[in-house]
Amino acid sequence: MSLHMNAAENQIAPTVLLPGDPRRAQHIAQTFFTDPVQHNDVRGMLGFTGSYKGKPVSVQGTGMGMASAGIYIYELINDYGCQTLVRVGTCGSYREDVQVRDLILAQAACTDSNINNIRFGAKNFAPIADFGLLLRAYQVAQARGLRAHVGNIMSSDTFYHDDFDQYKIWAEFGVLGVEMEAAQLYTLAAKFGVRALTVLTVSDHLITHEETTAEERQTSFNGMIEVALDAALE
């Protein structure tokens, strides 16, 4: 047990996928895991443990935003001993060449969040992915013929911004897209010496406003999960 999860000690695998949406955790477990068992239901933040290609693996919903995700990530590392944490989620694209349904492998994550200011004050920490995981994910995506971009992303504390054009400053500096959790995942992984990666599918486009059908989103989401699992459990 931890403060926010009722999984038993040793019930969560060392490798865990982290979708924001708990229903996605259920979908991942039911679609990709062998013999999944639900390990958490506190606050409806579902988590499951099973195996993939014979290797133990877990999936745990984190909720939206760094305040929520940070709680689960902290407890997975410190109370359950998780060593490899891979966020799987969606993002908005900041750039014309990064299209809806493409994959983004987040090499690093900028943030507008104040959470790291609480830690570092006026100093800025650069939250980065584990290089081995990143390299492996890129190789798996290439082998599967998926369009995958590797680079910087932005982890925002807000989904709805008052100023729509605020994204342009990030785009100018080559940032590929926006989501809401990776910077905190990478910071906590660095603090506690574990491996982390964020794999995203582009669900919406801030420039072209291109949209996808639910079916297209599901297909690209499933492709991303296979990349994450094959990279994390090589």
State which residue, 87 or 136, has the beta carbon closest to ligand ADE. 87
Residue 208 makes contact with ligand ADE by CB under 6 A: no
Instruction: Give catalytic residues, as residue numbers.
Output: 204
Structure tokens at 82: 């998780």
Least Å distance, CB 221 to ligand ADE, is: 12
Q: Which stretch binds ligand ADE (CB under 6 A): 102-110, 133-141, 142-150, 177-185?
A: 177-185
Residue facing ligand ADE at closest CB distance: 92
Residue 15 makes contact with ligand ADE by CB under 6 A: no
Among 159, 173, 174, 208, binds ligand ADE (CB under 6 A): 159
Q: Which stretch binds ligand ADE (CB under 6 A): 31-39, 85-93, 141-149, 189-197?
A: 85-93
State which residue, 120 or 159, has the beta carbon closest to ligand ADE. 159
List of residues contacting ligand ADE (CB under 6 A): 90-92, 156, 159, 178-180, 203-204
